[in-house]
């Protein structure tokens, strides 16, 4: 079974703090993704990566950065957390098949609250 894990289920941080969200997958997937989920807006892509040290901006990258030093690990970084970054963050991974994306498998999510 595909396993995608995220470092925390719940996280509370203060405005201005630097926040790290970690995601690890054990299926040797090339692609990894970070989404945020807000009520009424569905899931929106923040960043994705199709290889180690590679990253691509998604629809809403402002205020975020990412790091992928190892194939199995993809980190989302909030350089200076703000209250409008309070959200559910979901990590996903998939195989790369040359076109489009194979089925994405998701982690359990991290609910981040910024005070």
Partner 1 sequence: AQKITQTQPGMFVQEKEAVTLDCTYDTSDQSYGLFWYKQPSSGEMIFLIYQGSYDEQNATEGRYSLNFQKARKSANLVISASQLGDSAMYFCALETGANNLFFGTGTRLTVIP
Q: Which residues bind partner 1 (CB under 8 A)?
A: 9, 31, 33, 35, 40-45, 48, 50, 56, 58, 88, 90, 92, 96, 99-101, 103-109, 111
The pair of three-digit structure tokens given for residue 35, joined into one six-digit string? 């989404």
Q: How far is the CB of 42 from partner 1 (least distance, A)?
A: 4
Q: How far is the CB of 86 from partner 1 (least distance, A)?
A: 15
For partner 1, which is the closer residue by CB, 84 or 103? 103
CB distance 55 to 68 below 8 Å: yes
Tokens 């703000």: give the residue.
82
Q: How far is the CB of 80 from partner 1 (least distance, A)?
A: 26
Whole-angstrom distance between the N-terminal and C-terminal Cα of the chain? 37
For partner 1, which is the closer residue by CB, 16 or 96? 96
For partner 1, which is the closer residue by CB, 41 or 52? 41
């Amino acid at each position: 079974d595909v396993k995608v894990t995220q470092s925390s289920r719940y996280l509370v941080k203060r405005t201005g703090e630097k926040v790290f969200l970690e995601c690890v997958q054990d299926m040797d997937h090339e692609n990894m993704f970070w989404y945020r989920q807000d009520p009424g807006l569905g899931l929106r892509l923040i960043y994705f990566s199709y290889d180690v040290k590679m990253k691509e901006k998604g629809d809403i990258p402002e205020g975020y950065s990412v790091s992928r030093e190892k194939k199995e690990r993809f980190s989302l970084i909030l350089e200076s957390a703000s209250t409008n970054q309070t959200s559910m963050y979901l990590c996903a991974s998939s195989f790369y098949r040359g076109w489009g994306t194979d089925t994405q498998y998701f982690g359990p999510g991290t609910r981040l609250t910024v005070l």
